[in-house]
A and B are shown apart, each in its own frame.
Chain A
């Protein structure tokens, strides 16, 4: 029970009045950053990093500094869900999957329930991840070392396979949508050969199509265009805005315990690997859809469809800090900035950090518990406030949303070209909806396409062209087999029924 002692000491460090204040400041800043699309957690942390430079010089200051920065991160994880649910605009990449059921819930007038479910499951996911970090970090950190290019590819393959067929509609349209996503992901620098692809000599296309800009356009602008067509009526205006809705939703949540636990496990796994919070949220949503009793109704406004991605995203986001601390490998863009921060403050993340700076590490872990509690309190008390936004007439809120979207798209790369791109994606998103093409496969291919490709090619390069590398050990073989099983499951099941029927 060494860990418990160390943790209690950590609480001692984290609970100083200054650190508590920083915690709330960080969480509130983070929520604001999370709500604004484009201004991601990574940007927010990077902007505040130089401020912490002098803070870190005081005794115990590095702990205060990391508490402030990591709480911005927790805040951003919570905040990303708010606009996803209310306006169908994901504030952060990992809340894209939250829009699938979160926004339909808001349209049914259940925005309060969706928000409460999102926040509570976020908290649950983070809690599971922190408990794992507290007790299992040495074991788990070693696990991440087993991941090379073939293993990473099999993880991405699993994400795709868990998700394929989730639209439930026309299979050809799903494939078309996914292929457009892959094509868009291929634009820009090819990281394996170091040459430019599909840029047609345009310097604006050098940086490729950023996932965030595509998502702001496809979902946010696309949604607004559709609402305009339907006559400016903002569905969900009848949202109840008293606090009771939180308690009622809490009563409903224990029903989804299986989804919660599974999603937390998926999230922790993806955080440690590190595969990232965004794929974790997609994979978890895909799995929940297949394994849940109400799976077929996902997408029409199911609370369970909010629970799955939010739990996984927050669990992954939290456990992503473990490879950062123990290996110096960032599990997410925000963790990458935090990592830079540690180095600037003169701390060396790595296997020895736990031994040499226990105060710092355990202070950080304690702040993960406290920061998430602080975050939950802040966001839950604001649920009625957020839900009330839906009562503002659409003719007033729509221009505001468009302006926020434009600012968000601009912020990603400080580039005006991206704002035009966002509008183009908005039109594309509208066309997709009208023609019955699913957006989700395209978004998934756009976010994971180049990573999957890069790891596939590196794996093949390393094995001298031998495809059996994807079955070369138990870990990668198991992941690949599981992925293929998920992919062909409908066929296998159909085949099984035929066999049974005939016999």
Chain B
């Protein structure tokens, strides 16, 4: 009899305790990852997106910003389609995030791979990557106009080197052609560093490398920047070479070449995740961006520091998609 009561009492107590513990967790405490978070990179190891993902991972690990570990996984196949499809298929999985580059828009348009950014949940824009028009320092061209006049006179003999095909570098090249009537032969390579070195070796005549891809060759005096494809100058005033800082490079628009292009470095989650789960990552990435390591990384890569999240981010992505459809259509890059 006493045993019975005892057991009953214990059971009741246990149930009460369980209820007391469980209800607040579900109702009030914020969501947190309960297992390892996969950070998908839809590009190869060593590239710009991969570097940023690994910096984020490193900052999170170093400052213990997350209780669960984070692993970076490269899924570069089919110009990143492999990674995007993987995240698309992980609907509702809050333990997966993906960093995107322009292939978020260009890959499905150029290859008909069945995905769209609307299959994903926008979390946070980390930064925008700049593009700079570079020529070999031994050539006489000092302004975009001088160079482009020479290209026009060359009738297609001038070679523009870039990363990938029907991706951002070639889109900019076509935009320059439309704007000025100059004609390039576009040569595609596998990585940005390779492109910069091909320009040093004069195997191509110009490139639109990101700052971080070409900075070493610029400092060594082998390359010359002509203009940056942003609406405003890059804000970094520390001298990179003896005479110039990133800030000293004029915008292309100011020099009469009206082409603007920036590349998204943003984080997305799979579709079907809850608002709380998105909020967790927005907050986590805010902490990442507050670290000095992040600031110095942005400066090294001369990034455009625009950051957006939530509704604004979504609107921005939608607008950028529309712009890419237009650019790719004009260039004849849409898959038939």
Contact = CB atoms under 8 A, between A and B. Distances in A.
B329 interface: no
Interface in A20-61: 42, 46-47, 49-51, 53-54
B40 to A, nearest CB: 10
Contacts of A145: 197, 200-201
A349 interface: yes
A46 B72 contact: yes
Given A50-B61, A349-B216, A351-B217, A194 B73 contact: no
B203 A148 contact: yes
A220 B203 CA distance: 41
Contact of A340 (B51, B59, B62): B51
B329 to A, nearest CB: 15
Interface in B155-199: 156-157, 159, 164-167, 170, 185, 187-188, 190-191, 193-194, 196-198
A337 B46 CA distance: 5
A194 B79 contact: yes
Contacts of B82: 206-207, 413
A196 B72 contact: no
B284 to A, nearest CB: 15
B51 A344 contact: yes
Give the one of B71, B156, B200 with max A CB within 10 A.
B200
B200 A53 contact: no
Give the one of A145, A149, A192, A203 with max B CB within 10 A.
A203
B201 A333 contact: no
Interface in B28-68: 44-47, 50-51, 54-55, 57-59, 61-62
B134 to A, nearest CB: 14
A414 interface: yes
Interface residues of B, number: 65
A352 B77 contact: no
B187 A458 contact: yes
Contacts of A343: 51, 212, 300
B111 interface: yes
Contact of B333 (A194, A340, A346): A194
A49 B81 CA distance: 25
A414 B73 contact: yes
B45 A42 contact: yes
B222 interface: yes
B54 A50 contact: yes
A47 to B, nearest CB: 8
What 10 A-B pairs come out closest when comparing CB atoms?
A207-B77, A350-B216, A148-B203, A194-B165, A53-B58, A206-B78, A336-B46, A194-B166, A351-B220, A145-B201
Interface of A: 42, 46-47, 49-51, 53-54, 144-149, 188-196, 199, 203, 206-208, 323, 327-330, 333, 336-337, 339-340, 343-344, 346, 348-353, 413-414, 454, 458, 461-462, 464
